[in-house]
Amino acid sequence: MEKTNTLSIPIVICDNSPFVRITFDGKDLLALVDSGCQDCLLDRKLISLPDEQLGKGSSLTGFGDASFVGHDIFAFFRIAEHDFCSICTVLDLGNALNKFKNTIGEVSGIIGGNFLCKYEAVIDFKAKELRIEESKITEIMEDTMKMINGQ
């Protein structure tokens, strides 16, 4: 039986919600890990491109009755020195995540259910870690690069 290496990413729990540090575009950011949010989300202020150069628009509902219009991008980011990629919706998170600002700091994104399912990630609240098999990361990144390169 082949031994697999599991990446254990530390999470911080605040108000019963898990958070993880990510690096996007050279910036160290805090992201909420939320299996109840279908998509990965990035705050619009992180992206310097105008809306016209971003991907297709998409509508989201959540955070109560609020609705948002965002743009989908293919984002590469780092978590615990490993590269990841995911389609992310870019939108103005505005005050949506402000409830955490005074306790944990500014939250600039959400790692959503699509990412967690794709990478078969496990959130372990007791151990305060997010676990992902390194072989899954390698497989997805290799497939993504093939797709980008037209192979």
* 62 half-sphere exposure, CB direction, 13 A CA radius: 18
Pairing of β 40-43 and β 27-34: unpaired
- State yes or no: pLDDT of 87 exceeds 60: yes
Right CATH for 6-148 from 2.40.70.10, 3.30.450.20, 2.20.25.240, 3.40.50.880:
2.40.70.10
Count the residues in the chain: 151
Q: pLDDT of 17-49, one tens digit each?
A: 999 999 998 999 999 999 988 889 888 888 776
Q: Is 41 exposed, middle or buried (0-12, 13-18, 19+ CB in 10 A)?
A: buried
Q: Which residue has the higher pLDDT, 4 or 118?
A: 118
DSSP SS3 for 38 = coil
Query: What is the tens place of the pLDDT at every residue in 93-113?
Result: 777 777 888 889 889 999 999
